[in-house]
């Protein structure tokens, strides 16, 4: 094992082994990748108690480190979350293999047959905070898409991630695939992140998954291409034609189900016609549920609300807080979202199809939802089994990044002695 105190040498060794594994994994049979994922799922299930014990150590370390309640929630693994990891691995195993899939095909007058087919990216570097489930999600999705992956998890989740990585590697070994296809950086030293960001000889794309500080650092300093979103500033607009019951249930779920995830609602926009009716009722219900509502003047007299400041618009709370205001109509909502959204996820509640279509047409976020909670904004709920992150850029991947989005493509050109005149 390379000396873990010599970070450049350590990362060079990890990178070289990942590059070699990627070359072999790129043409692995779909059956082998499926078998590896199924075996990994069985390993996670069999080692559940060990994983929970490791996670307890991580939580103790995180408590001493003083991380936020939202980050602590992301870190925690219990029986339900471990079961979700197992289910995710199995779901990814059961998906169609994207590698080699023909995207389109055509014939040319010259006699050439041309196919555009999906091909792996190569080596993916994933840098993330707290959430050890990302270890399993990222490892599985990269394996499914024929990519090697280098995982650099948050220092507070190292014990949990180490065992989960061992489970994934056991699956690779059982299926006869290169075990270096999934590697976890075995140090908490932050210098490892810097090495990854400039590892253009070994890493083809970086996926950061964490808070604004982490993602901003990666976007500023990376020499490797990046799939990322900086923040999840999520809006939900209640239109004058919204169904009251749906609106109440969806808004409460969007805010309170899990406040620390990037799909949690951070700003409530209400049609001005609902100011004294449904809008006020939703604000009151949020306050009753323990949410601090940072309200514009029209809602400040609701018990539990506080006066909003300019800083509350365009803010990602990741906690039991939400900003709230009225807008004149759907166009007013669109204007506000254009001004403050991070282009992650935004939603509308209305029974008016034309209004919903206008919202979908004119809001340019990676994910738009109609009459549904923004908490569905992840790959598992999109049928992808899991996702390696949410990309808000417009080049290549956008929205939940699953196995298909972790591929590029190449052209296969076949002739029968064709020559160019």
Q: What is the pLDDT of residues 97-146, one digit of tens each?
A: 999 999 999 999 999 999 999 999 999 999 998 889 999 999 999 999 99
Which of 65-74, 234-243, 278-287 has the weakest average pLDDT?
65-74
Report whether pLDDT(305) > 90: yes
Note the pLDDT tens digit of each residue in 137-180: 999 999 999 999 999 998 999 999 999 999 999 999 999 999 99
Spatial contact of 308 and 295, defined as CB atoms under 8 Å apart: yes
Mean pLDDT of the chain: 94
Structure-block tokens of residue 122: 């190569």
Predicted pLDDT of residue 170: 98
Spatial contact of 389 and 379, defined as CB atoms under 8 Å apart: no
What does the buried/exposed string (b/e) look like for 362-379 if buried means 16 or more CB atoms within 10 Å of the residue's CB? ebebbbbbeebbbbbbbb
Residue 309 and residue 81: Cα distance in Å, rounded?
A: 37
Proportion of the chain above pLDDT 70, given as a percent: 99
Tell me the average pLDDT across 345-371: 96
Count of CB atoms within 10 A of residue 298's CB? 17
Tell me the HSE value of 176 on the side-chain side, using a 13 A CA sphere. Answer: 6
Predicted pLDDT of residue 69: 85
Q: How far is the CA of 328 from the CAs of 201, 204, 247, 269, in angstroms?
A: 53, 46, 18, 10
Spatial contact of 162 and 186, defined as CB atoms under 8 Å apart: yes
Quote the DSSP letter at residue 308: -
Report whether pLDDT(205) > 50: yes
Report whether pLDDT(31) > 90: yes
Report whether pLDDT(1) > 50: no
Which of 24-38, 285-299, 369-383, 389-403 has the weakest average pLDDT?
389-403
Taking Cα atoms as reference points, which of 292, 290, 320 lies closest to residue 73?
A: 320
Residue 209 and residue 145: Cα distance in Å, rounded?
A: 19
Spatial contact of 181 and 25, defined as CB atoms under 8 Å apart: yes
The gap between the terminal CA atoms of the chain, to the nearest Å, is 57
In this prediction, residue 11 has a pLDDT band, given cuts at 50, 70 and 90, of very high
Tell me the average pLDDT across 357-363: 97
Proportion of the chain above pLDDT 90, given as a percent: 83
Predicted pLDDT of residue 3: 61
Spatial contact of 117 and 92, defined as CB atoms under 8 Å apart: no
Q: Which is it for strands 123-128 and 205-209: parallel, antiparallel or unpaired?
A: parallel
Structure-block tokens of residue 218: 């990666």
Note the pLDDT tens digit of each residue in 374-417: 999 876 788 877 778 788 777 777 888 888 989 999 999 999 99
Residue 270 and residue 328: Cα distance in Å, rounded?
A: 8
pTM score of the predicted model: 0.84
Tell me the average pLDDT across 243-258: 97
């Amino acid at each position: 094992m390379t000396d873990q105190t010599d970070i450049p040498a350590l990362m060079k060794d990890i990178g070289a082994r990942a590059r070699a594994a990627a070359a072999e994994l790129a043409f692995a049979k779909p059956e082998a990748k499926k078998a590896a994922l199924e075996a990994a799922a069985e390993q996670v299930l069999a080692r559940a108690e060990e994983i929970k014990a490791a996670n307890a150590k991580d939580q103790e370390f995180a408590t001493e480190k003083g991380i936020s309640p939202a980050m602590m929630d992301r870190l925690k693994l219990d029986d339900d979350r471990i079961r979700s990891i197992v289910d995710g691995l199995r779901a990814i195993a059961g998906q169609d293999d994207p590698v080699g899939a023909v995207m389109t095909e055509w014939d040319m007058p010259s006699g050439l047959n041309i196919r555009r087919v999906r091909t792996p990216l190569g080596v993916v570097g994933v840098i993330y905070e707290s959430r050890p489930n990302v270890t399993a999600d990222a490892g599985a999705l990269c394996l499914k898409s024929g990519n090697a992956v280098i995982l650099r998890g948050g220092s507070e989740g190292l014990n949990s991630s180490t065992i989960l990585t061992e489970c994934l590697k056991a699956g690779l070994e059982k299926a006869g695939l290169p075990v270096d296809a999934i590697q976890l950086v075995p140090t908490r030293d932050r210098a490892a992140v810097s090495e990854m960001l400039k590892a253009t000889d070994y890493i083809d794309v970086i996926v950061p998954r964490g808070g604004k500080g982490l993602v901003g650092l990666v976007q500023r300093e990376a020499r490797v291409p990046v799939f990322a979103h900086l923040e999840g500033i999520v809006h939900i607009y209640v239109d004058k034609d919204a169904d009251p019951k749906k609106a109440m249930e969806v808004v409460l779920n969007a805010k309170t189900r899990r406040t620390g995830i990037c799909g949690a609602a951070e700003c409530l926009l209400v049609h001005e016609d609902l100011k004294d009716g449904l809008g006020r009722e939703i604000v009151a219900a949020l306050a009753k549920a323990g949410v601090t509502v940072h309200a514009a003047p029209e809602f400040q007299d609701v018990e539990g609300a506080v006066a909003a400041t300019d800083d509350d618009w365009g803010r990602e709370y990741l906690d039991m807080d939400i900003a709230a205001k009225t807008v004149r109509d759907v166009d007013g909502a669109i204007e506000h979202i254009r001004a403050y959204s991070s282009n992650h996820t935004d939603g509308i509640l209305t029974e008016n199809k034309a209004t919903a279509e206008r919202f979908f047409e004119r809001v340019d976020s990676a994910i738009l939802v109609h009459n549904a909670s923004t908490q569905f904004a992840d790959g598992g709920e999109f049928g992808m089994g899991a996702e390696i992150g949410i990309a808000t850029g417009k080049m290549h991947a956008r929205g939940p990044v699953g196995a298909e989005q972790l591929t590029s493509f190449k052209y296969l050109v076949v002739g029968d002695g064709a020559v160019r005149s």
